[in-house]
Each structure stands twice: as C-alpha cells, then as structure tokens.
C-alpha cells in the first residue's frame, strides 16, 4: 500500500459547485499534513496546512481525520481559476511524502 494515496481524477465540476476530495495515509505516525496546488506546467505551491481542528481559508476548508487516517479538501463556490492538480503532502519525522495529486477541472 502506498504511504499517501489520492484519487487521480479528473474531477469535472461546474463553476459554482462545491467539490471535495480526500487523501489517505498509511502511517499512523504521520505528524503534519498539507495541501499543495500545482497549475499546469507550473511548480507546486502550498495551498494550506491541515490542522487537527480543521481549518478554513476563504472558500477552502481542510480537515484531518486521524482515526481513519485521511485528510480532505473542500472547495466551495468553485471558480474557473481553481482548475489545477491538488497534491496531498504528509510529513513523518524528516520525511516528506507527496501524493500523486488529484486533477480538478472547473467547467464554465
């Protein structure tokens, strides 16, 4: 089993809709969690950290479920500019593990 797994998608979602995707991790010793965003032909950039209590940044909400070992990302009122690949990142000790990403297409 891979240490970090994501549904590759693509998720094709109409503009204005709400979309959510999950990322599962296999090692219960994982300590910190992040979502990165990667636009086509660009480098990944940090979107948000994921805290145990859950956190929100505008239209984006991230949640961590340690019992079931997954993190989630919810995007409300999706915009065309949200089209990107979303990478789940898990940190354990000094190891940083990237998921392969979930592709999101927002349709006009």
Partner 1 sequence: DVKVTQSSRYLVKRTGEKVFLECVQDMDHENMFWYRQDPGLGLRLIYFSYDVKMKEKGDIPEGYSVSREKKERFSLILESASTNQTSMYLCASSLVMSGGNNEQFFGPGTRLTVL
Q: Residue numbers of the site for partner 1 (CB under 8 A)?
A: 8, 31-32, 34, 36, 42-46, 49, 51, 87, 89, 91, 93-94, 96, 98-101
Residue number, 25 or 78, with CB nearest to partner 1? 25
- Smallest distance from the beta carbon of 45 to partner 1, in angstroms? 7
Residue number, 81 or 94, with CB nearest to partner 1? 94
The torsion region of residue 31 among left (phi > 0), alpha (psi -120 to 50) and beta comes to alpha
The dihedral over CA atoms of 33, 52, 85, 94, expressed in degrees to the nearest 10, equals 0
Residue number, 42 or 66, with CB nearest to partner 1? 42
Residue number, 69 or 91, with CB nearest to partner 1? 91
Neighbours of 36 (CB within 10 A): 19
The helix (run of H) or strand (run of E) holding residue 49 is strand 44-50
- Smallest distance from the beta carbon of 17 to partner 1, in angstroms? 26
- Smallest distance from the beta carbon of 22 to partner 1, in angstroms? 16
Helix (H, G, I), strand (E, B) or coil at 54: coil
- Smallest distance from the beta carbon of 8 to partner 1, in angstroms? 8
Answer whether 87's CB lies under 8 Å from 94's CB. Answer: no
């Amino acid at each position: 089993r891979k240490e970090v797994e994501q549904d590759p998608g693509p998720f094709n979602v109409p503009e204005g809709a709400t979309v959510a995707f999950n990322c599962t991790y296999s090692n219960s010793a994982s300590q910190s969690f992040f979502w990165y965003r990667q636009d086509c032909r660009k480098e990944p950039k940090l979107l948000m950290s994921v805290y145990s209590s859950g956190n929100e940044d505008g239209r984006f909400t991230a949640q961590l479920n340690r019992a079931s070992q997954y993190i989630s990302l919810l995007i409300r009122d999706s915009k065309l500019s949200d089209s990107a690949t979303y990478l789940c990142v898990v940190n354990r000790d000094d190891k940083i593990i990237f998921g392969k990403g979930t592709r999101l297409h927002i349709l006009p």
